[in-house]
Structure 1
Amino acid sequence: MQRAILSKKNQITVISGILIVLGFFSRFALDNMAGFNIAFIIASLLGAAPIAIQAYQAVKVKVISIDVLVTIAVIGAFLIQNFEESAIVTFLFLFGAYLEQRTLNQTRSAIKELTELAPESAMRQMENGEFEEVDVDDVDEGDILLVKTGAKVPVDGTVLTGEGYINEASITGEAEPVTKEKDSGVYAGTILENGTIQIRADRVGEDTTFGKIIELVEEAQDSKSEAERFIDRFSKWYTPAVLVLAFIVWIVSQNVELAITILVLGCPGALVIGVPVSNVAGIGNGARNGVLLKGSEVIHDFSHVDTIVFDKTGTLTIGNPEVGAKEYYGENTEEVLGYLASVERESDHPLAKAIIKNIGDTTLSPVEETEVVKGGGIVATVNGHRVAVGNVALMEKEQVTLTQKAQRDVKQFEKNGNSLVLTAVDGELKVLMGIRDQIRPGVKEDLQKLKDLGVKNLVVLSGDNQGTVDLVASELGLTDAHGHMLPEDKAAHIEKLQKEGQIVAFVGDGVNDSPSLALADIGIAMGSGTDVAIETSDVVLMNSDMSRLPHALGLTKSTANNMVQNIVIAVGVVLILLASLLFGEWMNMSIGMLVHEASILVVIFNAMRLLRYRRKGERYKVKRDDLEKEKKVELA
């Protein structure tokens, strides 16, 4: 019975509203007081039913909710035969709850849009070589899938054949199509705007990037900040206090209507809902714009950050370095390069890929007894020779003597901003390579935007040599730069900054960044980084787009300010209502309930402004529909 009544709450609201209109019509048009009273009595009883049920359910779990206050107020108004007040109060309360739920659903539109984008089916290659449509849950890793123009990519995968343009707005927040060809990676939930491709399924279901985004956003929207937890505790004491105050006023004044009105005016609805709706709207905006904020506590902490520490490779730089200079020492250079390529083939480090690309075709040899030296490089046995590949520190550890020429070359390479990779065979230096990474386009402007948002210190920590790090810092206008940093050194430096009273965010993308991401007040991972880095972080910038970082910081600051605004609005309205009741003559129960419900809507609409938040001068996303219209015009 209770469930049936609550499920029909919207219909009850409509009927209650109609009865109120009929009651006023009977009184003022027909001069029929009996019809007026009957209509308002039925409206009162009908409207009070779902409110009383919710109050009963709250009391059962020992919670004095807003519904309890309104129920007591309605019963009191009914007993003193003020049917007009009781009917109007119940209608306004129910109608306000309807509007509140409707607008709250809009603030959660980001997660709703994401789930609607989730692919439901896939074209899978069967044993006979034909492609058949199957449910996306039936796709396994390694399956070959066909994606045609206009279709959603069903899984994270790698393009095997074909090429086309894919809209990755659901992942990166940018609707500009991206070219995909053989060996390109694709994401589930993105849309192939033209072309036909075959892909190999690498990650399926909840393990896809898209699945993780939905999971993270859902968790974030359900989390609570310290402000919300404070308001929850406050409400537990505030609501009973209003009940006690109304009882005292009734005992002292013997004025039942005054006591009942205090119950209505003291409802903390806007205060309870103001902070959560701001958090949800802020997280929703981030999800739409390629920024994952993992919870409302993150919003509070991130908005107060005054120091941002960056890893260099893959964060400030593209992470796709190339060999820019090299020197050879001794003989048998081709043989040594073959050894070097054989060792680097064992690594997936960006510098290793740059070296293999530069060497090109060569003779490869079996690699044995590989030892990774943390912060140094790799030592291995190749064709019976001990081969050491790494930095100067590794050469010192291997007791490799650097000639005066080699020392001059090292200094010159560092001065030119190169990362150094030295190769020694059986204790003798054979090859010196200088590798440079390119700074990300637009990153200097993004860093200036961070300064404009109040970030005082921009620091780079890198395992690279100091000369390279200084060059990057100088070019980007960073406040501090440290090279030759091992993972533990980075973590120790962050601890040092925190002890100095700075609120620190760390931006990185690799496994070695995980300790720093976890230790910093806010860990920010680049979306193309490792799973460990993404899991450890508090904020994820999808597609490693640094331009999202100023948006993320500005959004959290606006969200934090929005919370404060909503708290001021909620508390201010209650104080004004109570002051009007005690010191004015115009305030009554119906007006109080109307203002109370209006204040709830005001804080919701104020929070919804965050859904449209963009920094001044920030480029707007192009909607997919607009892109299609533009293409049709071009074709015409």
Structure 2
Amino acid sequence: MQKLILGRKNHITIVSAILIIIAYVSKLGFQNEPIAIWSLIIASVLGVIPIAIQAYQALKVKVVSIDVLVTIAVIGAFIIKNYEESAIVTFLFLFGAYLEQRTLNKTRSAIKELTEMAPEVALKQLKNGEFEEVEIEEVDVGDILLVKTGAKIPVDGTVLTGEGHINEASITGEAVPVSKKKDSGVYAGTILENGTLQITADRVGEDTTFGKIIELVEEAQDSKSEAERFIDRFSKYYTPTVLGLSFIVGLISRDIELAITILVLGCPGALVIGVPVSNVAGIGNGARHSVLLKGSEVISDFSRLDTMVFDKTGTLTIGNPKVADKEIYADNVDEVLAYLSSVEKESDHPLAKAVVEYIGDTKSYTVEKTVVVKGGGIVAHVEGHRVAVGNVALMEQENVLLSEKVRGDIARFEENGNSLVLTSVDGELKALIGIRDQIRPGVKENLQQLKKLGVKNLVVLSGDNQGTVDLVARELGLTEAHGHMLPEDKSAYIKALQERGQIVAFVGDGVNDSPSLALAQIGIAMGSGTDVAIETSDVVLMNSDFSRLPHALGLTKATANNMLQNIIIAVGVVLVLLASVFFSEWMNMSIGMLVHEASILVVILNAMRLLRYKL
């Protein structure tokens, strides 16, 4: 029965609110006192039942929680027939608990989504040499597997035969597919975009990198959900103090009504509602500014952070490779670009797509005798000309002369983190194209704002090569930059920061980021990222607008301060009321109730200021 009632707490809260509204409408609108009284009585009884159950459960384990104080205070208010106070206190307490607890299960669906993304089947080689589709559980270390274009790599393994390009975004976060050939390592959960591979299984099931991602998310979420709320810690001392004071006063004065008055006045109505209402106002402001904050625990940690760690691709950068630099070594520019576009349309490589997109609408030529040079590029005939498009190695293979100026341009492009696409026509170099992931506009200014808000360390972790990561770090003025980072490497780095006492926020957008998002005290996901990243995170920048990040940090600092103000107001009012009971002649139940309700209004109005917050 207890479990059933506690499972219906939200329904009880709604019914209590409706009954309180009916009571006030009946009393103020229709002067119908009986209906108002009975509505408040029913609301009080319904509301106090789950609170009393929680108080009983707390007392069983020798914990005097705020539930105990609220239960006694409500019973006391009921005894002296102050049904209005008993109904309002129970509703506020239940509503506050709802606001505090509603986000605890937000991230649980992330585990299910990750599991669904994991490979389920594999093409396994049988003893007769043929391949048969089997469940992933039937694959053992050492088995030979066949992976076709478009399929997921089922295990962590090593390429035996074949070549192809694999999209490793789910593991490294990098958008550009990686070329794989004999002896190359591959990861479970990544996708073979073209080609056919035979691989040998090195790690299977939970031992794969993808399996470790799921395990890391589970561990981090479990540890995070155990955090205690401030009000519970406060109640450890506050509740016994008020109960003891009431008991002593009742014992000495023999005045039961005075003892009950102390309990009622000591009931922390404003304290119960003060923190949740600040939380709600802060979350409301964030929502209006495209920032989703998932609860007060997030706000508290976020407001105190000193280290912010970023994934690179899709977070600091746009996540879509585009042409960034260009040098043309010919007078007939339009014709050269038309040749280049015509040849690149023959390829489905991401760099080719970036070139075609950059050139845009142009004259299209018929491409003949196309030859794909593995690891080099494409050679084809266009309008009677031999056109080669690819990397430096292909140009050297085609005996294309690369002058000192050209080699200088190539070095400069590479220093800027570009992937190179060179174009030669009839053995002469005509064009050099540099393609790279672009830094998000305005990110540098946003990072400066974060520093002004108190973030001491700005770190980038990426699966990309160290040179490219260093380039991004220098351009943006970051504190540290680390490349070649797999998901477990990122998680280990964040753990090391936390062990040194730093409060860490991690900003990312991919499946590979989900362990770090869950492990960091504050996980921040870009809204255009994967569902798993968004569900696992504590904060979501809904429009993937990086400029919202400084607003989010400033808002959480303002919200944390507002919560503290409300706590001080609430506790201060209670102390004044209790002191007035003993040291003044004018304090009575009616005045106490008026001040009590006024304090609730004050903390609500104070919290509403957050709705107008701007950085």
TM > 0.5 = yes
Describe the SS at the equivalent of 2:501: coil
Q: Is the 8 A contact 2:93 2:273 kept in 1?
A: no
**Deviation (angstroms), 1:410:** 5.1
Alignment match, 1:412 = 412
1: CA distance, partners of 2:477 / 2:83? 61
Query: Is residue 66 of structure 1 aligned with residue 78 of structure 2?
Result: no
Displacement of 1:532: 3.8
Task: Extract unaligned runs of 5+ from structure 1.
Answer: 23-38, 78-85, 108-223, 371-377, 393-402, 425-429, 616-636
- Take 1:320 and 1:72, find their aligned partners in 2: how far apart are those partners? 68
Matching of residue 441 in structure 1 with residue 434 in structure 2 = no
TM-score (norm 1): 0.55
* Cα distance, 1:388–1:65 mapped onto 2, change above 3 Å: farther
Offset at residue 462 of structure 1 (A): 4.2
Judge conservation of contact 1:104–1:604 (CA < 8 Å) in 2.
no
Alignment-mate amino acid for residue 577 of structure 2: L
Alignment partner, residue 451 of structure 2: 451
For 1:53 and 1:293, how far apart are their aligned partners in 2?
31
- Larger mean CA deviation between 488-497 and 449-458 belongs to 488-497
Alignment of 1:251-290 (within 5 A): 251-290=251-290
SS in 2 for 1:501: coil
Quick one: which amino acid aligns to residue 525 of structure 1?
A: A
Task: Give the match for residue 556 of structure 2.
Answer: 556
Closer/same/farther in 2, CA of residues 589 and 556 from structure 1, 3 Å limit: same
- Tell me which amino acid in the other structure corresponds to 1:322: V
Determine the C-alpha separation between the residues in 2 that align with 1:514 and 1:352: 30
Q: Which runs of 5+ in 2 are unaligned?
A: 1-11, 57-66, 101-223, 330-336, 381-387, 394-401, 424-428
Q: Where does residue 322 of structure 2 map in the other structure?
A: 321
Equivalent in the alignment of 1:308: 308
In the alignment, the residues of structure 1 paired with residue 371 and residue 573 of structure 2 have an alpha-carbon distance, to the nearest angstrom, of 74
- Whichever residue aligns with residue 435 of structure 1, its letter is I
Change beyond 3 A, Cα 1:55–1:306: closer
Give the number of aligned pairs: 443
| RMSD over equivalenced CA pairs, Å | 5.3
Q: What whole-Å deviation, never above 9, does each CA across 1:410-448 have from its counterpart, x for those lacking one?
A: 533233x13224799xxxxx9985324443332222222
One-letter amino acid of the structure 2 residue matched with residue 601 of structure 1: L
Deviation at 1:8, TM superposition (A): 4.3
* Structure 2 CA distance for partners of 1:545 and 1:12, relative to 1, 3 Å: closer
Separation of aligned partners in 2, 1:457 and 1:407: 37
Q: Report SS of the residue matched to 2:546.
A: coil
Task: Return closer, same or farther for 1:47/1:335 CA change in 2, 3 Å cut-off.
Answer: closer
Are the counterparts in 2 of residues 315 and 508 from structure 1 also a CA contact under 8 Å?
Answer: yes
1:234-283: CA deviation from partner (whole Å, max 9, x where unpaired): 55885576445423322222123321221221112222222222222222
2:290/2:541 contact within 8 Å kept: yes
2:334: which partner in 1? none
AA at the equivalent of 1:456: K
Provide TM-score, normalisation by structure 2.
0.57
Contact 1:16-1:46 within 8 A present in 2 as well: no
From the superposition, tell whether residues 539 and 253 of structure 1 become closer, same or farther in structure 2 (CA, over 3 Å): same
**Fraction of identical pairs, as percent:** 59
> Equivalents in 2 of 1:283, 1:391: separation in Å?
53
Distance 1:251 1:421, change over 3 A: same
Query: 1:89-128: CA deviations, max 9, x gaps?
Result: 4446657889999999999xxxxxxxxxxxxxxxxxxxxx
Give the C-alpha shift of residue 546 in structure 1.
Answer: 1.2
| One-letter amino acid matched to 1:419 | N
Structure 1 SS opposite 2:325: strand
* Counterpart-to-counterpart distance in 1, 2:529 and 2:507: 11
Distance 2:470 2:244 in 1: 66
CA distance in 1, matches of 2:522, 2:573: 35
* 2:539 counterpart residue number: 539
Deviation at 1:580, TM superposition (A): 1.8
Q: For residues 529 and 341 of structure 1, do their structure 2 counterparts lie closer, same or farther at Cα, with a shift above 3 Å needed?
A: farther
Q: Does the residue aligned with 2:413 lie in a helix, a strand or coil?
A: helix
Q: Indicate yes or no: 2:21 matched with 1:10.
A: yes
Instruction: Find the aligned partners of 1:45 and 1:97 in 2 and give their Cα distance.
Output: 15
Aligned-partner Cα distance in 2 for 1:103–1:235:
15
Shift of 1:9: 3.5
For 1:506, give the aligned amino acid: F
Distance 1:248 1:326 in 2: 88
- Kindly indicate whether the alpha-carbon contact (under 8 Å) linking 1:340 and 1:423 is maintained by their aligned counterparts in 2: no
Aligned counterparts, 1:568-583, within 5 A: 568-583=568-583
State the partner residue of 1:212.
Answer: none
Distance 2:526 2:438 in 1: 17
Counterparts of 2:463 and 2:560 in 1: how far apart (Å)? 35
Partner AA of 2:272 in structure 1: V
After superposition, what is the alpha-carbon deviation per residue over 1:540-589, rounded to whole angstroms, capped at 9, x for unaligned? 21222111111111111112222222222222222221122223322222
